[in-house]
Amino acid sequence: MNGRLIESLANTPALAALFSDESVLQAMLEFENALARAEARHGLIPMEAADAIGDAAVPGNFDISVLADATFRAGTPAIPLVKMLTDQVRKANAEAARFVHWGATSQDVADTAMSLLLKRAEPILIGDASRLEKALAHLSETHKDGVMLGRTLLQPAPPVTFGLKAAGWLGSVCRGKRRLQKAFRSAVVLQFGGASGTLASLDERGIAVAQALSAELGFGESPPTPWHTQRDQLATLICACGVLTGSLGKMARDISLLMQNEVGEAAEPGGEGRGGSSTMPNKSNPTACSLTLAAAHRAPGLVASFLSAMLQEHERGVGGWQAEWPIIAAVVQSTGVAIASMAEVAEGLSVDAQKMSRNIENTNGVILAERAMILLGAKLGRDVAHKLVTVAVRKSVKEGKHLAAVLADTPEVTTCLLYTSDAADDL
């Protein structure tokens, strides 16, 4: 982990490392190194200068605390980073120092560094999502005949199967994973436009350098135009994260409700240091579900903040893209902790079929009232049947009698069904 207690419930070790100061610095230096190599290959700067820049672009050469303080004053990490990198290059090769950051602009560094981080985040998220898909598919198949109470508006409803419930979770995860993969493919691209997006300082070689730079960084084709103030592709990724996190929150809500002692139909895995209480030894808390629900609470506001920051002016915006780094990191980390948490839950979820059966039995048959109404409605009409069954349900609840017994004592029912058709067997 990154050691920050304030973020300890909103992160995973892998994503904490990915968005750490050292990792962000490394990504920015990778851009500067790759830029120098691409420009050297196209004759814009000497190859010796590119080598000197690559040798100096090592995170250990930089004081992150100094860089962070300078970033606050400069309004972008690129300005102090380029100054510090230039100083490092000058120590070994004064002539090469002239070519640091040649033809690029601050936002090129920041956006491309974030693209590199997102490129590395994708396999982390997708890997955990694949684990979750596999576990949910297993749950759905294993419990396809596991009958349990349906619940609508938090009240008992006609029976469903736990397999169907798990299949519903699985469907939303599969759709969310596909959306996320598509969004990553669109959003994870090079940013390279220079001062106002024209690459004019590179003469006629700007496009060629952009293509070479994109390839150096492992992005593939360079975008046809810079996207300094066109944030739609990043926004689509952020929204895809938000939707998937919401789907996982729904799953976590269901499981945490099933874990309530008075329900007791399912439970997430425990283990040493997991799910206990500081004061109540009897408790087994839905820890992973709570982490997922917390992420699902955070995500909508973060998504909205990113969307509001899309209103960026002309060729380079003021305040919009500067808002994005912490938002993007928080959204991806929230999504990651939700996926990883629910993968752990699904892989170790215990399902109590006996408790599911007892909970159905404890309703005294009232959850089958709809079925009774349909059978009676065929003879009496829906309205009459609805009123008759409603009265029977109230009597069943009040007297603690099974609904079938109450209906059996109702003359209209016995006349209509019990003695005139085989439909009685369905009750």
- Look up 316 and say whether it is catalytic: yes
Residue 73, C-beta contacts closer than 8 angstroms, at least 6 positions apart: none
Q: Which of 8, 277, 350, 421 is catalytic?
A: 277
Q: Could you tell me the two tokens for 220?
A: 């593939």
**C-alpha dist (Å) from residue 245 to 172, 180, 296, 335:** 10, 11, 5, 5
Residues in the chain: 427
Phi, psi at residue 281, to the nearest 5°? -60, -20
Q: Identify the CA nearest to 355 among candidates 272, 264, 232, 242.
A: 264
Q: How far apart are CA 240 and CA 133, in angstroms?
A: 17
State the DSSP code for 279. Answer: S
Cβ 57 vs Cβ 74: under 8 Å: no
The pair of three-digit structure tokens given for residue 342, joined into one six-digit string: 């629910």
305 catalytic? Reply is no
What kind and span of H or E run contains 399? helix 382-399
Q: What is the dihedral of CA 164, 351, 152, 173, to 10 degrees?
A: -50
Alpha carbon separation from 140 to 81, 166, 169, 171, 372 (Å, rounded) = 52, 5, 9, 11, 29
157, with CB counted inside 10 A (0-12, 13-18, 19+), is middle
Q: Is the dihedral of CA 104, 105, 108, 114 positive or negative?
A: positive
Question: Annotated catalytic residue: which of 37, 231, 298, 316?
Answer: 316
Active-site residue list? 277, 316
